[in-house]
Amino acid sequence: MERNEQYKGIALMLVSAALASTGQLLWKLSAADNSLFLVLLGLVLYGAGAFLMIIALKYGELSVLHPMMSAGYVLSLILGAAVLGEPVTARKILGVAVIIAGLVFLSSSEKGGGTR
């Protein structure tokens, strides 16, 4: 598979993760406000993320692309802190750093698990 296609798949997966995380944030907000609008908007964003993930999978290896969805954990930490006022602890920062390191290693790997 061509390297540019792999990067396209990674980019699509990252956008997919962002859409899914944002949709889940809206569900969290809807639980507090009992807002049907936020539930439905969350479903639309989450569904768009799932649809985009399906498209992304044609551009690379599942073993590289699917773990890119873990970027959603990183965004959830940011959204939780920024929108919901949730605390950002040293453990959470360390966890996010490990996730980001894993994403970098995976995105730079060649077919068969080697590195560049």
Give the pLDDT score at 116: 41
Q: What is the pTM of this model?
A: 0.86
Give the pLDDT score at 1: 59
In tens, the pLDDT along 32-45 reads: 999 999 999 999 99
Residue 61, phi then psi, degrees to nearest 5? -80, 135
Q: Is the dihedral of CA 46, 47, 53, 55 positive or negative?
A: negative
- Cβ-based neighbour number of residue 45 at 10 Å: 20
